[in-house]
Copies of this chain bind each other. A is one copy, B any other.
Amino acid sequence: MKSSISGFPELLPQEQIAFNRVANSIREHFEMYGFVPMSTAAVERISVLQAKGNDNEIYGLYRLADEHSKTDLGLRFDLTVPLARYVSQNGESLIFPFKRYQIAPVWRGERPQYGRYRQFHQCDVDIIGDGELSLNYDAEIISLVTWVLASLNIPEFHTEINNRKILTGFFSRLVRKDNLINAIRLVDKIDKITSEQFDTDMTTLLNNSADISKVRSFFDVNKRGDVDQILTWLRSLSLGEEFVQGVDELDKVVQILKKLGFNDKRIKISTSLARGLSYYTGTIFEATFDGVKDMGSIAGGGRYDNLTQTLGNEKKYPGVGATIGVSRLITKMLESGEMNTDKCSTADLLVTMQDQSLAPVYMRIANKFRAIGVKTETYLQEKPLKAQLSYANKKGIDFVLIANEKELVKSEAILRNMRTKEQHIIRTEFIGSDVRDIIAHH
């Protein structure tokens, strides 16, 4: 029984330890900003999952005990729909602005042969307001996500920022209302398709095909200039109220970020940044590695003012949020060897055992190490010492404690550093901070 199910990847212990280290670091950063952990059920009503009319593949559930009746339940395919449902449901009990993060698996009912992940982790952070939400929070989210990414051991990256109102304002004069989102989605693909393909597809959406030159020039010019130059250029265009409002919002968010210390290397304006999802209404942003276009974004998000309303909630809960592509990020870090993956134990010390009948003595000594905060495994299988040392090596445990019966009678043991081979003789009656310091400062 060695079947692995395609699309449901699993990690080996050393990889899982590395994964958790990254996930915990992200978690600590979110909590440093006061964000609370949220853990919704993995299961939602199918009607809720489909409320946004999305075309994501969804897994529905049926009870094996009752094969004829499919349930009205399915597995979540993202963490945003459950958030909207949770806020709609618990709005009266929450304190706003509600700030939550969630790092959890999601499921996509893809066909196996697609070779795509059918379970992977998402890492979302959102701020939801009750009726109103200041634009300051848009800047806070971008600042937080940039700070989180910068804390990880990853290559240089930058964050592109735009505003959906700039895109909708621009296109509202050129395409029919029902083509707006298609035009925006096409812009989202601008770096992935040829310029000929872009022109052809865009022309079919335009009311007047002659406008293609306007479109081309609008999305071309933005490639040049720093943040202030692009803002000046955008201000020079008179493209209606919505467009101007988008420029004002973008300006405000960017100015806050500059005052927080983000320079032109970290923060860029890109008018061709579109984000495919239909629910964004204002600020949008995406972080990508410098000079790497084809890997896609490592984080992204934006402002959504009407999300809960799509679930039939009359109350307005505007939000701004981000997703960090934690599965993709960690997979890449594991592949490139940027993460230390040689540890298969959480322990820093292995207490070896040379006399089976003294097992409780070794176990008591291990407890003394734990009491002073040293993570400690005890080797309790009857094996030659050599095999036990090899076990410590293979698991990446840096220290071992070695004592035979004679030494134990004298309350002595040898603490050996497996890397440097340095040894200390320690007293086992009382294990104190001096011993902890040897292990902590190696």
Contact A5 B45 (CB under 8 A): yes
Within 8 A of B (CB), among A332-360: 344-347, 350, 356, 359-360
Within 8 A of B (CB), among A363-409: 363-364, 367, 370, 375-378, 380-382, 391, 394-395, 397
A34-B347, A41-B5, A88-B2 given; A380·B61 CB < 8 A: no
Contacts of A105 in B (CB 8 A): 42
Give Cα distance in the complex from A42 to B5, angstroms: 11
A121 → B minimal CB distance (Å)? 9
Give Cα distance in the complex from A345 to B101, angstroms: 11
* Residue among B51, B65, B95, B98 making CB contact with A109, cutoff 8 Å: B65
* Residue among B41, B59, B100, B394 making CB contact with A62, cutoff 8 Å: B59
Within 8 A of B (CB), among A125-144: 129, 132-134, 136-137, 139-140, 143
Contact A42 B133 (CB under 8 A): no
Contact B60 A62 (CB under 8 A): yes
Q: How many residues of A contact B (CB 8 A)?
A: 108
A45-B3, A260-B363 given; A36·B63 CB < 8 A: no
Contact B259 A360 (CB under 8 A): yes
Residue-wise interface mask of A (1-43) relative to B, using a CB-CB cutoff of 8 A (1 in contact, 0 not): 1111100111111001101100000000011111111111111
Contact A64 B73 (CB under 8 A): no
Give Cα distance in the complex from A73 to B32, angstroms: 39
Residue A195 interfacial (CB < 8 Å): no
Contact A58 B48 (CB under 8 A): no
A260-B360, A345-B34, A359-B136 given; A40·B95 CB < 8 A: no
Contacts of A1 in B (CB 8 A): 48, 51, 85, 88-89, 311-313
Residue-wise interface mask of A (297-319) relative to B, using a CB-CB cutoff of 8 A (1 in contact, 0 not): 00000000000000111000000
Residue-wise interface mask of A (182-208) relative to B, using a CB-CB cutoff of 8 A (1 in contact, 0 not): 000000000000000000000000000
Give Cα distance in the complex from A40 to B136, angstroms: 40
Give Cα distance in the complex from A63 to B61, angstroms: 9
Residue A94 interfacial (CB < 8 Å): yes
Residue A212 interfacial (CB < 8 Å): no
* Residue among B13, B95, B137 making CB contact with A38, cutoff 8 Å: B13
Contacts of A119 in B (CB 8 A): 41-43
* Residue among B30, B37, B64, B107 making CB contact with A57, cutoff 8 Å: B64
List 26 interface pairs A-B (beta carbons < 8 Å), by A numbering. Answer: A1-B88, A1-B313, A2-B88, A3-B48, A5-B41, A5-B45, A5-B73, A16-B38, A30-B346, A31-B347, A32-B370, A33-B347, A34-B347, A42-B42, A42-B107, A43-B107, A60-B62, A62-B70, A63-B111, A95-B395, A132-B381, A134-B382, A136-B359, A137-B380, A256-B360, A260-B363
Residues of A at the B interface (CB closer than 8 Å) are: 1-5, 8-13, 16-17, 19-20, 30-46, 48, 51, 57-67, 70, 73-75, 85-86, 88-90, 93-95, 97-100, 105, 107, 109, 111, 118-119, 129, 132-134, 136-137, 139-140, 143, 255-256, 259-261, 311-313, 344-347, 350, 356, 359-361, 363-364, 367, 370, 375-378, 380-382, 391, 394-395, 397
Give the top 5 A-B pairs by smallest Cβ distance, nearest first. A34-B347, A34-B377, A259-B360, A136-B380, A8-B41
